Structure 1
Amino acid sequence: MHTQPNVTKKVFNWLSVAFFVYLMLVAVGTVSSGFKLFSGGSEGAKEIFEFATNPFVALLMGALATALVQSSSTVTSVIVGLVAGGLPLGIAIPMIMGANIGTTITNTIVSFGHIRDKEEFRRAFSASTVHDFFNLIAVLIFLPLELAFGLLEKLASALAHLFIGDADLSMKSMNFMKPLISPGVDLAKSVLGFFEGKTLGMGLVILGIGLILISVTLLGKILKKVMVGRAKDILHRAIGRGPIAGITSGALVTVMVQSSSTTTSLMIPLAGNGMFTTKQIYPFTLGANIGTTITALLAATAISGPTALVALTISLVHVLFNLLAVLVIYGLPFLRELPIKAAEKLAQIGTKNKSLALGYVLSVFFLIPGFMVLAVR
């Protein structure tokens, strides 16, 4: 009796997933088109983002933007669109790193749900902030390497050339996504048809960012409905099976639900209730970092033509940054324990003084980045 409605609901959910993936691709294409119009190409883009030529400002902008929208997937998709529109990679790469820092705010906020019970809050806050410290250490290691040697840009560029190549039968010349998303981008332009020139460009960028925010948020909600039950099963089965299983399952769950915030937030109540320790949850956090890079890769497929290579390069920077961070920080024993020790120490301080815990969240994610960006501007 109930089978038919369930089947219809499942079909509707998966059609909705397909629609919101398509909407996200159209939105990324819209941001790219709008930014090209607004900036007048890469030279104009350099002028517009002159204030962010300082990589630390770009890093803070990425962190602040992600903390505000609580979605690194949204911010990295916007960055892919902006790079395709002319945003220099030297600015975009620190922004991607900043997005990694900003995304950790969601599970830290979830930990405040346990604030009434001291012991629960200590466990939950520790399990949530291990993500913060891991990403901060990753930036401390890889941002100087990037500034000194262009490590991630060179590696990502080499990989992008392998995937796209320079031959005529490449993504650049085939433009296989263009016929799919062009009608959507054209519709966005016609909606804003009363604007022209740079005003139209800015309108398209704002509309595109809004559509990315809507599509990624709703896509995440639908995938949560469809996948969270399975995601929880994977998490429960993998805990205790060692770090490789933890990292793999964290990545898999994040790809399934298209949100590292969801993956990490699923684990915080389990830690708060004492079912799992910060050390057991740590590998899932690393896997979530890797899994969240799928969104930027997907966004890069929306870009065709001459800028396809640079769009793929910035999305691969995101993948490499998270993969190498796991290999270096978790792979080296003397670095592996640092995020756990720092998170547990902060949790002890935060438990004794709840206002300090709240102050940590507000200052690290909002006040410090906000003031520094304003000061430099």
Structure 2
Amino acid sequence: MIEQAPVEPAQNRWQPVIRNTAYILGALLIFLFALNLMISSLQYLGKDADDLILQTTANPFTALFIGLLLTALIQSSSATTTMAVALVASGSMSLNSAIPFIMGANVGTTITSTIISLGFITKKKEFRRAVATGTYHDFFNILTVVLLFPLEYYFGFLSAIANYVGTTLFHEPISNSSENFSLLGWGGDSIIKFIITTINNGFVLVVLSVVILFSSIIFFRKVISKTLGFGQQEKFQHFFFKNSFKSFGWGLLTTAIIRSSTITTSLVVPLVAKKVVKLKSAQPFILGANIGTTITAFIAALFNSNAAISLAIAHFLFNAIGVIIFYLIPLVNELPGKLADGLGRLTLKYRLAGFLYLLLTFFVVPFSLIYFNKDAVRVNELTYSYQNFVTQQNSSYNIVAKTYPHHAFSNLMVYDRPSKNNQPNKILTVYRRNNLLLINNDLFELNRAGFCRDAEDENGKFKICILEVLPSLTLSSGLKADSVFVFEKQWYQPERVDSTRVRLYISAALNLQVKKEKLSTGGHLLEQELLTSLNPK
């Protein structure tokens, strides 16, 4: 008589699915809660913390290295990219500063697979294959940084595209912080307000939010890894490496679900080392994982400010462009693999070569770049006075200007009205190309006196002319601006604006507006804004 195995009740079969689904949703909610708490905490820190973050990340090389080192230390690019989104959303970091930080995170996350590959040092043949696999991810990201970082540094390549896409999708200018920012609705906001009120310490709040955020990511990974059975390498190999397209797709999908390219790429190292999978078959999986890891930034930015969404777009573009160039273009696509294989062969001959590579890539080279580019960015604090001669109202506002001496771009963080969190009310981008100066959406053509052109803004059509070009202009005691172009802006329908004429004093030497005047029909001065101080930080 044949005994039948007991049939597991359907209810029992569904219990793990329901339990794991609940765990996943819970981890996601905790993740969003921690992100919201982090943004609120960063805003709570105030202007001093903003200035510190601004100065720290002002140098793109410094921002690149901070992203690299932080990710290497905590072994999670998901956490560091989420932090970057929070910093941008809170107004503490501009998009242009956050992009190098994200690039560094992309390189930093590869250190895990490299360290795992060095664990095969006692097994000669496996060691070569392991190092080649572990460092393929390194070389892909390093080459992508080498290609895109100069384009971003000199031309704002990624930030310009990300800004354009973000503005196109949301039909409004890119902005940073929002007074009514909310991820979880009224209930979540109430809890966060209670926590902030109770703790009442910005630094402690930030640390708490980071701990909760990191814990939620780790918990999420463990649940997903257990659900998908990633501990079984045979299952991993059978499903994910049948062909390049499938391998790429699975790398993207699994990493997007787990939110960790560190785990998925690290799992590939022993598979290739033991000849379960060939390196060529594993390459598309690693590249897919690189794309999949960008999902975290999108989740974090989804309910966020447009600038944060633009950062998520820039993160995706960085990885996507890298895949297109270093995988799809013939000849170039062999470069990461050849470099990785070459290093693998070198480590086979000289075992310490792998450790030397690790030291140089993640420590010596970044620190050297920081040292030799320590003067690449200048940060100045500008103070402007405002006078209304009609109402007799006087006030002032500050701008933190980050200028690149050899760069076409600069950023202006404007603190133009009181804020309980001292957050910048807006971040302006300044672009200078020959005799063209673009301050956000305002274009100034630095031409001869008498030059005029027609243009249009939200107030209607206007004519803008250069009245005169001053060799220098005294602004206040001890402060002068050189090469000042005096523009006059006059609308064709003056009833649509507060005054009929506006005079703008633009310094070609500083790439700044140093003075602004509003005039009545009779030429009487109604309002004036004047640069009164410029101090390096």
Deviation at 1:371, TM superposition (A): 7.8
| Larger RCO, structures 1/2 (Cα 8 Å, 6+ apart) | 1
8 A contact 1:123–1:277 mirrored in 2: no
8 A contact 2:37–2:209 mirrored in 1: yes
8 A contact 1:107–1:128 mirrored in 2: yes
Larger Rg: 2
Indicate yes or no: 2:99 matched with 1:102: no
- Matches of 1:194 and 1:261 in 2, distance apart? 36
Indicate yes or no: 2:233 matched with 1:236: no
Aligned partner (choices 331, 335, 360) of residue 328 of structure 2 = 331
- Matches of 1:179 and 1:287 in 2, distance apart? 29
- What does residue 86 of structure 2 align with? 81
Aligned partner (choices 308, 316, 321) of residue 318 of structure 2 = 321
8 A contact 2:108–2:362 mirrored in 1: yes
Change (3 A) 1:373 1:186: farther
Deviation at 1:133, TM superposition (A): 0.3
8 A contact 1:223–1:258 mirrored in 2: no
- What does residue 77 of structure 2 align with? 72
Deviation at 1:33, TM superposition (A): 1.2
Deviation at 1:144, TM superposition (A): 0.8
Deviation at 1:239, TM superposition (A): 2.6
Aligned pairs (5 A) from 1:199-210: 200-210=201-211
Aligned partner (choices 185, 194, 198) of residue 190 of structure 1 = 194
Query: RMSD across aligned C-alpha pairs, in angstroms?
Result: 2.8
Q: Secondary structure at the match of 1:114?
A: coil
Deviations 1:226-247 (A, max 9, x none): 12459975753453523x3332
- Matches of 1:68 and 1:373 in 2, distance apart? 19
- What does residue 120 of structure 2 align with? 114
- 2:246 alignment partner AA: A
Query: Where do 4+ consecutive residues of structure 1 move more than 4 Å?
Result: 229-235, 366-377
Indicate yes or no: 2:26 matched with 1:12: no
Deviation at 1:150, TM superposition (A): 1.3
Q: Which ranges of structure 2 fall in alignment gaps of 5 or more residues?
A: 1-6, 376-537
Aligned pairs (5 A) from 1:157-168: 157-166=163-172
- Matches of 2:143 and 2:367 in 1, distance apart? 21
TM-score under structure 2 length normalisation:
0.62
Deviations 1:53-80 (A, max 9, x none): 1111100100000000111111101110
Q: Which ranges of structure 1 fall in alignment gaps of 5 or more residues?
A: none
Aligned pairs (5 A) from 1:1-377: 2-3=8-9, 4-40=11-47, 45-86=50-91, 87-166=93-172, 178=182, 180-196=184-200, 200-229=201-230, 233=235, 236-242=238-244, 244-303=245-304, 308-366=305-363, 369=366
- What does residue 420 of structure 2 align with? none
Deviation at 1:193, TM superposition (A): 3.2
- Matches of 2:183 and 2:288 in 1, distance apart? 34
Deviations 1:274-299 (A, max 9, x none): 12222221111111000000011001
How many residues are paired up?
361
Change (3 A) 1:201 1:181: farther
Deviation at 1:330, TM superposition (A): 1.6
TM-score under structure 1 length normalisation:
0.87
Q: Secondary structure at the match of 1:143?
A: helix
8 A contact 1:131–1:285 mirrored in 2: yes
- Matches of 1:148 and 1:103 in 2, distance apart? 25
Identical residues among aligned pairs (%) = 35
Q: Secondary structure at the match of 1:337?
A: helix
Deviation at 1:26, TM superposition (A): 1.2
8 A contact 2:199–2:205 mirrored in 1: no
- Matches of 2:237 and 2:170 in 1, distance apart? 35
- 2:122 alignment partner AA: R
